Structure 1
């Protein structure tokens, strides 16, 4: 059983599963949303945990590979009065033209996607030159002891439950594709917020506007 089937079976119970972590994650989601502008794509929207934090002046598009999760996110957007477009779509194969978005955001997604390199390349492709990529992700800790005592057992458990891999180095992968503007390490690197740019002609214009 792959991650799609596992997340589909969880459905709305995913909220309950993650609830003990919300006091740690919610401030970071709010922080990540501060960096979005313009036409925005959220990759891996899940049940819509990022939705309450987006500014009202963006054009939001959101994708997830699990139809059951997309339906929950759509309902949450309606409850919030948020105008957004939702699609069932794989992160590794985004069905948008190249250079479609000003911002692409992923929140706790790269621990789950089967092929993170391909997903990163797709995010790079659909961003406009000078566009911003934002990653709020589980990553391998800076502390080797913490990796062995906490993340490795958690990785085994979540691997069985959700096909998650909490020991991935998404922060390293992002550097292969983007210019890193800002990086925050939280809880000894167990979670990182990475703000990056796609190199291109618009990069200077974005910086000049203070975007």
Structure 2
């Protein structure tokens, strides 16, 4: 079963699974949202857990590969009064022209997207020169003990449940495409905020 099928079956129930972790992630979502400005694309919006943290005056475009989750996010955005448009779309194939956005946001997406390098290329392409890419992602820790004792068992569980790969080195992939201006490591490096600038 593909990640799309697994997430489509979860739908609104996804927040019940993710809910216990959100008390750890909420402050990080708020921090990540502080880096956004202008015309924004959120890649992999899911059920819209980032939406409450965005400034009210932004123009937001949000995509997700799973229609069932996108509908939940769209309803949430209306309740929050956000100027937002939603699209069923893959991160690896963004249907926007080059340089369309001032900021691209990705939160806990690169642990799931099937082809992370292709998705990163697409984010780089649709971002305007000088624009920002903001990532809040699960990443492999710099501590081997944490990886073996915590992340490896979690990787097996989440991989089976929602196709989540907790051992990816997304922070290094960001550095291959963007000039990293800010990076924060949390919980032993298993979660990071990375902010990159598109040069040119």
Normalised by the size of structure 1, how large is the TM-score?
0.94
The count of corresponding residues between Structure 1 and Structure 2 is 200
* Distance apart, 1:93 and its partner CA: 0.2
Q: Deviations over 1:64-121 (max 9, x none)?
A: 0000011010011111121200000000000000000000000000000000000000
| Residue 133 (str. 1) matches residue 136 (str. 2) | no
Contact 2:40–2:105 (Cα < 8 Å) also in 1: yes
The residue aligned with 1:22 is 22
The residue aligned with 1:149 is 149
How far apart, CA to CA, are the structure 1 residues paired with 2:145 and 2:45?
32
Q: Deviations over 1:104-147 (max 9, x none)?
A: 00000000000000000000000000100000000001110010
The residue aligned with 1:197 is 197
How far apart, CA to CA, are the structure 2 residues paired with 1:19 and 1:131?
32
| Residue 79 (str. 1) matches residue 79 (str. 2) | yes
The residue aligned with 1:7 is 7
Q: Which runs of 4+ in 1 moved over 4 A?
A: none
How far apart, CA to CA, are the structure 2 residues paired with 1:85 and 1:170?
27
- Matched ranges for 1:38-117 at <5 A: 38-117=38-117
SS of the residue 2:153 aligns to: helix
SS of the residue 1:27 aligns to: helix
* Distance apart, 1:47 and its partner CA: 0.1
* Distance apart, 1:63 and its partner CA: 0.2
* Distance apart, 1:56 and its partner CA: 1.5
Unaligned runs of 5+ in 1: 201-211
SS of the residue 1:12 aligns to: helix
SS of the residue 2:105 aligns to: strand
How far apart, CA to CA, are the structure 2 residues paired with 1:136 and 1:99?
22
| Residue 118 (str. 1) matches residue 137 (str. 2) | no
Contact 2:58–2:83 (Cα < 8 Å) also in 1: no
